[in-house]
Structure 1
């Protein structure tokens, strides 16, 4: 089991994840059993965990347009996806209901949430700079970062040479942007920055970059970098894009909690980290991964 990434701890994997700038929220869903879970046994008082238990609800930030990790289903007006299932299960094991907020990614990763939400379950990579403002649990899963091109592209084969100087779309403020500008740093991980002098185009989320890539080969973008889960899902939905080459790096993805919370977050971080560990041990995370990622278990470090 990976050791917790609490404060400036050592390990960290996610896509990577990216954010949505809708800024909205929704009412609590998936009520947990009253009187059960961590809140039924904790002796926490006067801190963030105690407040959440007293309210009976935890507010979680996520992305409303990042399938299959998370998205708002227009038919049901409910959030669905891998991250949604993970966050809901954490709330259930805490013994509280869950409510959602969808702030922009750069706002989430900057910390100083001012109590607007309590926790982020949004496929966030615990980079060294993020660890300065956020506490992280142990990773709950790991994803490969891949390069996608338009389906008509036949010029990109060698990722170490064919992408130099090209225009590449990524979500702004994500690890993919840091990979391209060669600033990506995660304690315990090393990276081979094989792409030189790319013109980086930042988007609100990976999906938006992929949409521009689908317009045409080289029309707006030459390539995009995203998680393999997003790239495969986008192509599977019938969009004219394809993955080229092997993954360019692997990253851990973890639950994040604001260090600067007005109420002490330490007991909440400890409780959620323990829950993530339990979900690894009892196969819950594997089940979620296999459900959302075509039978693939991404919860084991590669």
Structure 2
């Protein structure tokens, strides 16, 4: 084989591989980054990946003519991994914030919810709202909007202290609450409600006012076509009742 033939063969092989970066999903797949520690949005039950957002993204993928592929990762790394193009999109009860809009593109919010405060009502029956939490210790997950709001509330004297837990250890926060080691846990609804009802005596006593939590699907900045297609699928689901059916099934707003 002479050098011209070698160049032609190498060029042909390069063309075959063009646009298929290592780790890229195969054609027809929607690769979705998430973390299965966030019920009822996504979690593991009897070895299966289940939850509202699992069903939501499966429906969206099908409407796009794709097969969903869920990739389990961690909250602490998921935004950076999306920036690096590891997924087609990410989901996980993620609040759209100005800071996050600087680094990723986002769908229209599929849900706008609130931050809830959970207490042990049997241990602390006098706590009936935020005004009763002065001096309280509040558990939150690291690097979340709950954390940011709790720090602000502490600075303004609305709560006493903030205890921070790794994202995948929210169950530890609920155990500390049940044991009386902290006074409250702040978490986005409906996750707060889901976790509270697992332990007798725990209940939501308040929603943080003026802190709406618009939840969205995150994308790389370089794929506006996919963002538009997902937005259309979401709009169609809300119009034809498919979204409402999923919300009823999982007890979400």
- 1:55 is paired with a residue whose SS is coil
Give how far 1:194 is off: 7.7
Query: Paired residues, what number?
Result: 229
Residue 19 of structure 1: aligned partner: none
Equivalent in 128, 133, 139 of residue 157 of structure 1: 128
Residue 250 of structure 1: aligned partner: 212
1:205-284 alignment, distance < 5 Å:
205=168, 206-214=170-178, 216-217=179-180, 219=181, 221-248=182-209, 249-259=211-221, 264-284=222-242
Question: Which is further off, 83-92 or 144-153?
Answer: 144-153
Gaps of 5+ in 1: 1-45, 184-192
Gaps of 5+ in 2: 1-18
Contact residue 257 and residue 265 of structure 1 kept, 8 A: yes
- For normalisation by structure 1, the TM-score amounts to 0.68
Residue 12 of structure 2: aligned partner: none
Q: Output the CA distance in 2 between the equivalents of 1:201 and 1:155.
A: 25
Change (3 A) 1:194 1:109: farther
In the alignment, structure 1 residue 176 sits paired with structure 2 residue 146: yes
Residue 92 of structure 1: aligned partner: 62
In the alignment, structure 1 residue 290 sits paired with structure 2 residue 248: yes
Q: Output the CA distance in 2 between the equivalents of 1:172 and 1:47.
A: 35
Give how far 1:241 is off: 1.4
Q: Output the CA distance in 2 between the equivalents of 1:175 and 1:89.
A: 28
In the alignment, structure 1 residue 71 sits paired with structure 2 residue 32: no
In the alignment, structure 1 residue 104 sits paired with structure 2 residue 66: no
Contact residue 165 and residue 199 of structure 1 kept, 8 A: no
Give how far 1:111 is off: 5.4
Q: Output the CA distance in 2 between the equivalents of 1:107 and 1:85.
A: 23
Residues 226-268 of structure 1, C-alpha deviations (whole Å, 9 max, x = no match): 1232222223334441111345443111111122xxxx31111
In the alignment, structure 1 residue 198 sits paired with structure 2 residue 175: no
Equivalent in 83, 92, 97 of residue 122 of structure 1: 92
Question: Which is further off, 278-287 or 244-253?
Answer: 244-253
Q: Runs of at least 4 residues of structure 1 off by over 4 A?
A: none
Residues 112-132 of structure 1, C-alpha deviations (whole Å, 9 max, x = no match): 542322211211111000001
Q: Output the CA distance in 2 between the equivalents of 1:181 and 1:271.
A: 37
Structure with higher RCO (Cα < 8 A, 6+ apart): 1
Q: Output the CA distance in 2 between the equivalents of 1:174 and 1:142.
A: 16
Structure 1 or 2: more helix by fraction: 2
Coordinate RMSD, CA, aligned: 2.6
Q: Output the CA distance in 1 between the equivalents of 2:34 and 2:99.
A: 20
